[in-house]
Amino acid sequence: MAKNVAIVGVTGAVGQEMLACLEKSSIKVGELRVMASSRSAGKTVKFKGKDVTIIEASVDAFDGIDIALMAVEADQSEEFSPAAVKAGAVVVDNSSAYRMDPKCPLVVPEINPEEIANRPKGIIANPNCSTIIMNVPVWPLHQVNPVKRIVVSTYQAASGAGRPAMDELAETTKAWVEGRPIEPKVFPYQLAMNLFSHNSKIGENGYNKEEQKMVDETRKIFACPEIRVTATCVRVPVMRAHCESVNLEFTNPITEQQVRDILAKAPGVKIIDDRAANRSPQPLDATGQGNVIVGRIRSDISQPDGNGIDMFISGDQILKGAALNAVQIAELL
């Protein structure tokens, strides 16, 4: 049965990829309604070869919509998502607005698809990008041997801060090459040929919001409040794929080979791990890919009981970190 689908925020980096993912998805789209700010209203986007005109997003724009995909900031989602639900739609929200709401499931289809049915508010939350990318390969390991603690350091692309941030990275890199002064406006600091701690607000415990999301959302997605996570989130001068250095402590001993065997069969995971060639996941491998790429799989020599594994992963921030995950949720509806 055809579904009427809305994409809100269709002109942004995530919105554009939602459109592309929707086109490739198994969802039979009846009406496609695309929305953005008033600036973009009247412009068109292509969907399956046809032009679709962008309308201004508003609370009155959801009549007849079955599935509303939100690719907007949290404050805008708080405005539009309840309106879409009221009009009869199920919302898949990419913002952080409803992620920790106990009445909204927080879903990665490879991990907890059964949670989709449990949505008293009519809103399904799409997790934080770094959290999705980390958890796609950690979950199948956790199923076999529960993970007690994760120490993760991220190498996050500009795309996480949206299209203007990607444009700024390109422009400031050009300025660096040309010897012109670099004046960031989207990011607080120069990202070209530099890096800095993630530009989200730092809380009272010293963790920034991105780090706290990785802690809190992992617990919710895994339905495992006892899993211990510490994260250090860092922006690096890369366009659109995140990397993460992940150190795991398991409940019981685990070998490299066990990890390889589990991940080789895991949905959404691809292994690139050639020690002889020193070939392991890079942002350029992950860019444009739906899978999370995993490599540098090795026993952690600092955990002599054999309970530790180190690995290095990369995933496309806009695809599996956002748009693709949201469309995969929509496919399950």
Q: What is the DSSP letter of 89?
A: P
Q: Which of 21, 104, 198, 242 is labelled catalytic? A: 242
Q: Which of 235, 240, 236, 318 is nearest to 284 (CA)?
A: 240
Q: Tell me which of 177, 223, 224, 264 binds a second copy, using CB under 8 A.
A: 177
Radius of gyration of the chain (CA): 20
CB-based contacts of 110, cutoff 8 Å, min separation 6: 136, 139, 266, 267, 268
Q: Considering beta carbons, is residue 171 or 331 the nearer one to a second copy?
A: 171
Q: Considering beta carbons, is residue 117 or 284 the nearer one to a second copy?
A: 284
| CB-based burial, 213-241: b 16+ in 10 Å, e otherwise | bbbbbbbbbbeeeebebebbbebbbbbbb
Q: Which of 21, 104, 129, 243 is labelled catalytic? A: 129
Which H, E and C letters describe 234-278, residue by residue? EECCCCCEEEEEEEEEECCCCCHHHHHHHHHCCCCEEECCECCCC
Q: Considering beta carbons, is residue 60 or 204 the nearer one to a second copy?
A: 204
Contact between 182 and 176 (Cβ < 8 Å): yes
Interface with a second copy includes 179 (CB under 8 A)? Answer: no
User: What is the closest distance, in whole angstroms, from the C-beta atom of residue 223 to a second copy in the complex?
Assistant: 18
User: What is the closest distance, in whole angstroms, from the C-beta atom of residue 21 to a second copy in the complex?
Assistant: 24
Known catalytic residue at 142: no
C-alpha–C-alpha distance, residues 280 and 264, integer Å:
15
Q: Residue 146 corresponds to which tokens in the numbers above?
A: 């529960």
Distances (CA, A) of 269 to 127, 136, 262, 263, 283: 17, 7, 10, 7, 15
Contact pattern from residue 123 through residue 162 relative to a second copy, giving x for each residue in contact according to CB under 8 A and a dash for the rest: --------------------------xxx-x-x-------
- HSE (side-chain half, CA atoms, 13 Å) at 267: 9
Q: Which of 135, 153, 116, 152 is nearest to 268 (CA)?
A: 135
User: What is the closest distance, in whole angstroms, from the C-beta atom of residue 246 to a second copy in the complex?
Assistant: 9
C-alpha–C-alpha distance, residues 331 and 189, integer Å:
39
Q: Which of residues 220-279 bind a second copy (CB under 8 A)?
A: 228-230, 232, 234, 236-239, 243, 245, 247, 256, 275-276, 278
User: What is the closest distance, in whole angstroms, from the C-beta atom of residue 298 to a second copy in the complex?
Assistant: 3
Contact pattern from residue 192 through residue 211 relative to a second copy, giving x for each residue in contact according to CB under 8 A and a dash for the rest: -xxxxx-xxxx--xxxx---
User: What is the closest distance, in whole angstroms, from the C-beta atom of residue 79 to a second copy in the complex?
Assistant: 27
Interface with a second copy includes 100 (CB under 8 A)? Answer: no
**Tokens 């600091």 identify what position?**
189
Q: Residue 27 corresponds to which tokens in the numbers above?
A: 């969802």
User: What is the closest distance, in whole angstroms, from the C-beta atom of residue 78 to a second copy in the complex?
Assistant: 24
Q: Considering beta carbons, is residue 37 or 200 the nearer one to a second copy?
A: 200
Interface with a second copy includes 289 (CB under 8 A)? Answer: no
Known catalytic residue at 242: yes
Enumerate binding residues for a second copy (CB under 8 A).
149-151, 153, 155, 170, 173-174, 176-177, 188-190, 193-197, 199-202, 205-208, 215, 228-230, 232, 234, 236-239, 243, 245, 247, 256, 275-276, 278, 280, 282-284, 295-304, 308, 310, 312
Would you name the residues annotated as active-site residues?
A: 129, 242
